[in-house]
Amino acid sequence: MIQGTISSDGLFYWDGAQWQPTRSPDGMWRWTGSAWVASSDASVTLQSVSGYSSPRWIGVWLSVLLGVSVAMALIAFLVELYFNLTLTLAGRDIVYSIDVGGLFIFAITSTVFLVWFGLSYRNLSFLGARDLLFTPGRAVGWWFVPVACWWKPYAAVVEIWQASDPTAPATTSAPSRRGADSVPLLPFWWATWIVSLVLVNAASLLIYPADTQQWLLNMSAAATAVAGVLAMVVVLSISNRQDARWRRLVSQTSASA
């Protein structure tokens, strides 16, 4: 076997002792049989550098809003607990005011989250991700589709996480992303969010005794608070991962220029 010979499928070349991949680990170079040349993926990466928009600052503001939402949920829980223990009906308007304020903060937080979510998903194509499951618009739209909203957005979040890996090759495909290591953070966050929704919807049926209904609402508030804290970690982690991957691609394209 002649050294440098490329296999029939074009994926490997013979280095004189064993078969080696014809593409460099970072995806930037390809072996032609006689020399290493810039891969066609490298030009895609050059375009990616200019199209990327950092989600960091939106993520920071979103984390602040999530923190406020968690604080409002905890305050509502404690105030409600106080009135239940003291059997005080006077001043119950305080509870209602807190609930209304919490809904207002939740609406703002949800809007900012969807903006951050759409931007993060849009960035994937500029960070070398191929074979994506959704378009950015559809990834956001699944949050509003009944039933499907229970798992479709989660699939998009997992894809954002995997495709934002700073250590991955310059281009990633669906099979390569599926082979990436999973992290317990994402399923744990999503599980607490689903639990909070299930509990609050169960309480809204109004078929339970008052004590049971209040317990469901309290447990939903607790699950929402945990989900909010975990969401802060998810948002900041993804923002950092995308920025780190972008910086790596910039350094690679600068070195190959």
What pLDDT is stored for residue 71 in this prediction? 87
* pLDDT score for 76: 72
Are the C-beta atoms of residues 67 and 90 closer than 8 Å to each other? no
pLDDT exceeds cutoff 90 at 19: no
Please tell me the predicted confidence (pLDDT) of residue 209.
72
Q: What share of the chain in percent tops pLDDT 90?
A: 39
- Check residue 14 and give its pLDDT: 77
Given a cut of 90, whether residue 86 has pLDDT beyond it is: no
Q: What is the pTM of this model?
A: 0.76
Query: What's the pLDDT at 117?
Result: 98
Q: Compute the distance between CA of residue 185 and CA of residue 39 in angstroms, rounded to an integer.
A: 35
Q: Which residue has the higher pLDDT, 166 or 82?
A: 166
Look at 74-78, 107-111, 116-120, 176-180 and tell me which has the smallest mean pLDDT. Answer: 74-78
Domain boundaries, the chain: 1-38, 53-244
Is residue 26 within 8 Å of 170, Cβ to Cβ?
A: yes
pLDDT of residue 229 exceeding 80? yes
pLDDT band, residue 242 (cuts 50/70/90)? very high
Q: Of 13, 19, 42, 43, nearest to 29 (Cα)? A: 42
Tokens of 40: 């066609």
CB 14 within 8 A of CB 1: yes
Section 26-40 average pLDDT: 62
CA distance 106 to 231: 13
SS3 sequence of the chain: CCCCCECCCCCEEECCCCEEECECCCCCEEECCCCEEECHHHHHHHHHHHHCCCCHHHHHHHHHHHHHHHHHHHHHHHHHHHHHHHCCCCCCHHHHHHHHHHHHHHHHHHHHHHHHHHHHHHHHHHCCECCCCCCHHHHHHHHHCCCHHHCHHHHHHHHHHHHCCCCCCCCECHHHHHCCCCCCHHHHHHHHHHHHHHHHHHHCCCCCCHHHHHHHHHHHHHHHHHHHHHHHHHHHHHHHHHHHHHHHHHHHHHHHC
User: Tokens 């339970």 — which residue?
Assistant: 208
Higher pLDDT, 178 or 141: 141
Does residue 215 register a pLDDT over 70? yes
How many residues in the chain?
257
**What confidence score (pLDDT) does residue 53 get?**
92
Report the range of poorest mean pLDDT among 64-78, 127-141, 200-214. Answer: 200-214
